[in-house]
């Protein structure tokens, strides 16, 4: 992780610009994980959202990690992510031996040493997790957590904006396709 306050400020500005430059849901999510990973010099980054049941996290976007690692199996919301879903950051300094890790062998094969997870919140409700992976053991500082929490908060806003845009677009399409509403009648 970068250790300079100015670097974090600069990185946050770059990430915010990247996020706000699109309203396409998948593009926004990819920019979040890609820019967060690159700006922190980390191995990888994922953005996971809760499924409809609220029991499983689905990797919605990722960067820097193999498809094989990302698709290794379901992540239960009640193990390593439980505290994050309650709004608290979770730091795992040793991914190979921490009992909260679902798939320690896969993490080791992927070259993951440490993990930090922060909640993604929309309208006061945790909807997912932003997770950063390092290839060397890392003791995440308060500044690291604050930076990632700010990115996660920005991510929540971006998710909500993308959702509202899609909803508005669908409503518009439904309205203009309705035979009962002909905007071009005189």
Q: Does the pLDDT value for residue 177 go beyond 70?
A: yes
Kindly tell me if the per-residue pLDDT of 80 is higher than 80: no
Is residue 112 assigned to a domain? yes
pLDDT of residue 62: 97
Residue 162 lies in a domain: no
The pLDDT tens digits for 116-164 are 999 999 989 999 999 999 999 998 999 999 999 999 998 898 888 877 8
Residue 75 belongs to a domain = yes
Residue 47 contacts residue 132 (beta carbons within 8 Å): no
pLDDT at 76 over 80: no
Domain enclosing residue 114, as ranges = 5-155
Tokens 């990722």 sit at which residue? Answer: 62
Q: What is the mean pLDDT of the chain?
A: 86
What's the CATH number where 97 sits?
3.30.450.40
Under 8 Å between Cβ of 151 and 29:
no
Q: What is the pLDDT of residue 4?
A: 57
Q: Supply the pTM of this predicted model.
A: 0.84
For 19-52, write each residue's pLDDT tens digit.
Answer: 777 777 788 889 889 989 998 999 999 999 988 8
Tell me if 176 is assigned to some domain. no
Considering the domain boundaries, does residue 18 fall inside one?
yes
Classify residue 179: in a domain, yes or no.
no
Q: Which two tokens stand for residue 102?
A: 């679902």
Per-residue pLDDT at 79 exceeds 70: no
d(CA 31, CA 73): 24
Total number of domains constituting the chain? 1
For residue 172, being part of any structural domain is answered with no
């Amino acid at each position: 992780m970068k250790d300079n306050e100015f670097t974090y400020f600069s990185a946050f500005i770059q990430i915010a610009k990247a996020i706000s430059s699109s309203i396409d849901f998948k593009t926004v999510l990819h920019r979040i994980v890609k820019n967060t990973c690159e700006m922190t010099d980390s191995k990888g980054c994922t953005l996971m959202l809760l499924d409809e049941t609220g029991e499983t996290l689905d990797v919605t976007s990722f960067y820097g990690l193999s498809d094989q690692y990302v698709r290794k199996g379901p992540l239960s919301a009640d193990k390593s992510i439980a505290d994050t879903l309650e709004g608290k950051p979770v730091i795992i300094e040793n991914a190979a031996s921490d009992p909260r890790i679902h798939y320690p062998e896969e993490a080791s094969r992927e070259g993951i040493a440490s993990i930090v997870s922060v909640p993604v919140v929309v309208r006061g409700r945790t909807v997912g997790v932003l997770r950063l992976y390092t290839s060397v053991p890392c003791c995440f500082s308060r500044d690291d957590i604050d930076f990632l929490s700010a990115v996660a908060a920005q991510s929540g806003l971006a998710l909500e904006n993308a959702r509202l845009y899609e909803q508005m677009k669908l409503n518009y399409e439904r309205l203009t396709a309705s035979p009962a509403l002909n905007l071009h009648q005189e």
